[in-house]
Structure 1
Amino acid sequence: MMRGQVVHLPLFLILTLILTFSAAYHIGVNYGTVSNNLPPPHQVVNFIKTKTNINHVKIFDANPGILTAFSGITGISLTVTIPNSDIVSLSKLPNARSWLSDNLLPFLPATSIRYIAVGNEVIATSDRTLIGHLLPAMEALTLALHLANVTGILVSTPHSLGILSGSSEPPSSGKFRRGYEKAIFAPILDFHNRTKSPFMVNPYPYFGFGPETLNYALFNSNDIVVVDTVTKLNYTNMFDAQLDAVYSAMKRIGYGDVDIVVAETGWPSAGEPNQTGVGLDFAATYNRNLIKHVNSGKGTPLMPNRVFETCIFALFNENLKPSISEQNFGLFKPDFTPVYDVGIMKN
């Protein structure tokens, strides 16, 4: 290009560039390490920064090697996870302050941390002690952040869709499990409302499809599959239906304004022998369509024009997971070769 030359880009190219750069804002990835063949964290971070459009990474602990590797990296934020086993201890403020001092404060502000996830799918454990200490731990960590003069880090906890009762179809009928609405979820959602932190969920259409609903689960149907007879709204994909069922449960107890973040979702590229709906093409189709859908800004039928921060599970295939399908949720092999292309690579 000659200096001073004015270039007029076609409108379609401008829109393509806008969509490409905005896509990175909404799509993150879960960086799991249940494997014995993964590259060291500094190589992983360099790969994410230089080769992909990913700008949010969720890790499943507070691994100091990973936090160090992200130090000084601009444009990529982290979710750090506290193991379920630490929840009871961290429900006490002195322990929460100690955990913060030991695990996060040494890395701030050089490492950009956006969320602390307290446990993972705690309600699904049915462990009454854990469940009873979940909100106190979230409150204690929030206060510990305040006392340490740390701003910009929000506290939440990811939930499986097992938090909903069995009668969450159609989506407008979604409600929390009986006995949990007022005792568990109203206080948790009140916490999110007060602290402006998001309600995190792990929707997996992969776990909810049958032979007749595979395309519905893969965002691969343009046809209306589900009609909500109450709202008269139409659903062409299961992801929207799952999120709207969660939203309906939240709204039912007065907290429909709390933001929703998708902490995990994904599809395996390999599975057990004769397992239907699993393979490279299925995984590529789901995640490619997921990214396109999330970044379209269209939202869901009950939450139109909303964009949900979404973290794909997972960055790598992890060879020490207990089953073949669990080992094969990764977007990349340990040598950084894409398992399949979903459009998150730069250039």
Structure 2
Amino acid sequence: MLGSRVVHQLYFLILTLILPFSAAYQVGVNYGTVANNLPPPHQVVNFIKTKTIINHVKIFDTNHDILAAFSGITGISLTVTVPNSDIISLSKLSNARSWLSDNLLPFLLTTSIRYIAVGNEVVATSDKTLITHLLPAMETLTLALHLANVSRILVSTPHSLGILSGSSEPPSSGKFRKGYDKAIFSPILDFHNRTKSPFMVNPYPYFGFGPETLNYALFNTNDVVYVDPVTKLNYTNMFDAQLDAVYSAMKRFGYGDVDIVVAETGWPSAGEPNQTGVGLDYAAAYNGNLIKHVNSGKGTPLMPNRVFETYVFSLFNENLKSSVSEQNFGLFKPDFTPVYDVGIMKTNKVYTLQLL
């Protein structure tokens, strides 16, 4: 006769074994809404929660219907976004406090909000006024959170890889664009270091491949494709090379320990006629290999053993985007049918324990 303590331990073990094996994965997705055929937020959230292993979601605004739909949902964290058009206003504390009260505070008790992304690829706009107000807005929102006694939400801003100079190859020579390095990125990195918030980047090998580097961009080879002549480190995929170039630029200012979050990356499943390297097989290869890679714990050649929180772009195909390829970055169609399989659907495995 088994004692009650042993029975309890076996019961707990069985529960653990029937949980999805993917529970330890860190899979994020961008939930964009530039479409006129998407299901309502409560259906989307229920789908994410019950059918997928996605546990981080990034939205491009503070849509109250979406925030309310995530109310009471455990195990999924949210990143919300301040539109670029609001950045200048939010550099003023009174406006930042009002924005927080109007958009986030009503949801904090029941919705897990992890990051506020201030704008999106602001430096890429080349709008000097906007760029100079970016860090003040981040600082002011952080202060507004502190004054509201909110400590769990961190503030950041996603950058395109256009922040790097054209000479950021090999990866070890990565540096920020001249004119922005000391004036913009050194203070931003100091902010991240002080607040323990991550530096967010949007690496897209899709935008950087050529005919001879397609497999390198898709993680489709285990062969060494590039050797950094300075570090002698080997690269088998373009994603690692891009992240290491960002890391090298950060390290030049002494901030190599600041966390990096991949706020966007993806590959379209359809494109314009005769567009090379675009299609279902290419998108499935990139995103499927990406998810395996970032969850492997291997890190990159310059950042071994680091796992990067990574948000795939995007959850749905969005039919109001401006080009065919932009409309087809989604993992799912609006009816929740997978566009292709990247291994993020929940599967349970049950093991029978045999008592001897």
Interval of TM-score (by shorter of Structure 1 and Structure 2): over 0.9
**CA distance in 1: counterparts of 2:322 and 2:20, whole angstroms:** 41
Aligned to 1:218: 218
Local SS of the residue matching 1:324: coil
Structure-2 separation of matches of 1:208 and 1:181? 22
Quote the residue 2:64 is aligned against: 64
Residues 289-300 of structure 1: pairs in structure 2 closer than 5 A: 289-300=289-300
- CA distances 1:76-130 after superposition (whole Å, capped 9, x unpaired): 1100000000000000010000000000000112010000000000000000000
> Is 1:121–2:121 an aligned residue pair?
yes
Q: Secondary structure at the match of 2:261?
A: strand
2:20 and 2:346 in contact (8 A); partners too:
no
Query: Displacement, 1:19?
Result: 5.8
Partner of 2:49: 49
- In structure 2, the residue matched to 1:35 is 35
Matched, 1:101 2:95: no
- For 2:24, the equivalent position in structure 1 comes to 22
In the alignment, which residue of structure 1 is the partner of 2:262? 262
Matches within 5 A, 1:164-313: 164-313=164-313
**Letter in structure 2 aligned against 1:48:** I
- Please state if 1:149 is matched with 2:145: no
Partners of 1:17 and 1:249 in 2: how far apart?
41
Match of 1:346 in 2: 346
Q: Letter of the aligned partner of 1:218 in structure 2?
A: L
Alpha-carbon distance between aligned partners in 2 of 1:63 and 1:126, rounded to the nearest angstrom: 27
Q: 1:296 to 1:18 in 2, by over 3 A?
A: farther
Cα distance between partner residues in 1 of 2:84 and 2:232: 40
Taking structure 2 as the reference length, what is the TM-score of the superposition? 0.92
Q: 1:331 maps to which residue?
A: 331
Seen in structure 2, the aligned counterparts of structure 1 residues 333 and 280 have a Cα distance that, compared at 3 Å, is same
Query: Per-residue displacement from partner, 1:123-145 (whole Å, max 9, x unpaired)?
Result: 00000000000000000000000
Amino acid at match of 2:238: M
Deviation (angstroms), 1:202: 0.2
Structure 2 residue identity aligned to 1:41: P
What TM-score does the superposition give when structure 1 sets the normalisation length?
A: 0.95
Shift of 1:27: 1.3
Which blocks of at least 5 consecutive residues in structure 2 are unaligned?
1-5, 348-356
Q: CA deviation at 1:20?
A: 2.1
How many Å apart are 1:6 and its aligned residue? 6.7
Give the percent of matched residue pairs that are identical in Structure 1 and Structure 2.
86
Residue correspondences, number = 338
Shift of 1:294: 0.4
Tell me, in whole angstroms, the C-alpha distance in 1 between the residues paired with 2:162 and 2:21: 34
1:101 is paired with a residue of what secondary structure?
A: helix
CA distance in 2, matches of 1:146, 1:171: 37
**Equivalent-residue separation in structure 2 for 1:77 and 1:315 (angstroms):** 15
Paired with 1:288 and 1:22, the residues of 2 have a C-alpha distance of 17
In 2: Cα distance, 1:271 partner to 1:324 partner: 5
2:22·2:346 contact (CA, 8 Å) conserved in 1?
no
Within 2, Cα distance between the matches of 1:18 and 1:242? 32
How far apart are the structure 2 equivalents of 1:6 and 1:142?
Answer: 46
CA distance in 2 between partners of 1:132 and 1:342 (Å): 40
Is the radius of gyration larger for structure 1 or structure 2?
2
Query: 2:326, 2:21 → 1: CA distance?
Result: 31
Residue identity in the other structure for 1:198? P
What code does the residue aligned with 1:133 have?
A: H
Deviation at residue 18 of structure 1 after TM alignment: 8.6
Query: 2:314 aligned with 1:321, yes or no?
Result: no
Q: How far 1:65 moved relative to its partner? A: 0.3
Q: Compared with structure 1, are the counterparts of its residues 6 and 149 closer, same or farther at alpha carbon in structure 2 (3 Å cutoff)?
A: closer
Q: Unaligned 5+ residue runs, structure 1?
A: none
| Cα deviation, residue 22, structure 1 | 1.3
Residue 85, structure 1, aligned to residue 85, structure 2:
yes
For the residues of structure 2 that align with 1:260 and 1:6, how far apart are their CA atoms?
39
Distance 1:71 1:320 in 2: 28
